[in-house]
Amino acid sequence: MGLGTRYGLEIRAAAAGDAPGLSQLFDACGLTLSARDAADRLETLRREQAAALVAVEWGPPSGLVVMNWYRTLLSGAPVAQITVLLVAPDDRRRGIGRLLLKAAAQAARMAGCASLEALVDADRPESRAFCLATGFTLTGQRFARPLRKAAQP
């Protein structure tokens, strides 16, 4: 069941059958995700406190938003965190990102979340600009470190 349509664009839950198209979407955005990994990870997300939504007109998905929600001691309600928001380069500036964000916010509210945050890659200033233009505020910086040592070449 889709979350909504607009001008022939459908926003719906991602399914395993979308994996090849999602692999193409990642490739078009300069990222790497095999169809097999996409299918496996979508299945894992389906079983967790998460949502993966795609924007589809015809052919492969033109956009994707993935979010997880989690609880903290600081809030009585879960926090939803967008970990992936992609729109194919040829489909940008058409409102697809905003529609995906609206659908993600709706899914987060349905999951009982009180706030929505977005992880943004520092190397993608267009993502930062999009977040600021859609009502997000900068609340700090994120630090990360691997839990395993990288394999030596």
Please say whether the beta carbons of 10 and 56 come within 8 A.
yes
Please say whether the beta carbons of 105 and 131 come within 8 A.
no
- Nearest alpha carbon to residue 28 among 73, 92, 74, 76: 92
Q: Residue 11: what pLDDT?
A: 94
Q: Residue 153: what pLDDT?
A: 61
Express the helix, strand and coil content of the chain in percent, nearest 5 each. Answer: 35, 25, 40
Kindly report whether the global pTM for this prediction surpasses the value 0.75: yes
| All domains of the chain in start order, with CATH | 2-133 (3.40.630.30)
Q: Residue 94: what pLDDT?
A: 87
Q: Residue 4: what pLDDT?
A: 52
Please say whether the beta carbons of 9 and 49 come within 8 A.
no
Q: What is the pLDDT along the chain (153 residues), one digit of tens a residue?
A: 445 555 678 999 999 999 999 999 999 998 999 999 999 999 999 999 999 999 998 878 999 999 999 998 988 999 999 999 999 988 888 889 999 999 999 999 999 999 999 988 777 888 888 888 898 888 887 888 889 887 666
Q: Residue 121: what pLDDT?
A: 79
Q: Residue 1: what pLDDT?
A: 40
Distance CA(139)–CA(14), nearest Å, equals 30
Residue spans of alpha helices (H) in the chain? 19-28, 35-46, 96-110, 125-133
> Hey, is 117 helix, strand or coil?
strand
Q: Residue 75: what pLDDT?
A: 86
The contacts of residue 53 (CB under 8 Å, 6+ apart) are 3, 11, 12, 13, 14, 64, 65, 66, 100, 103, 104, 107
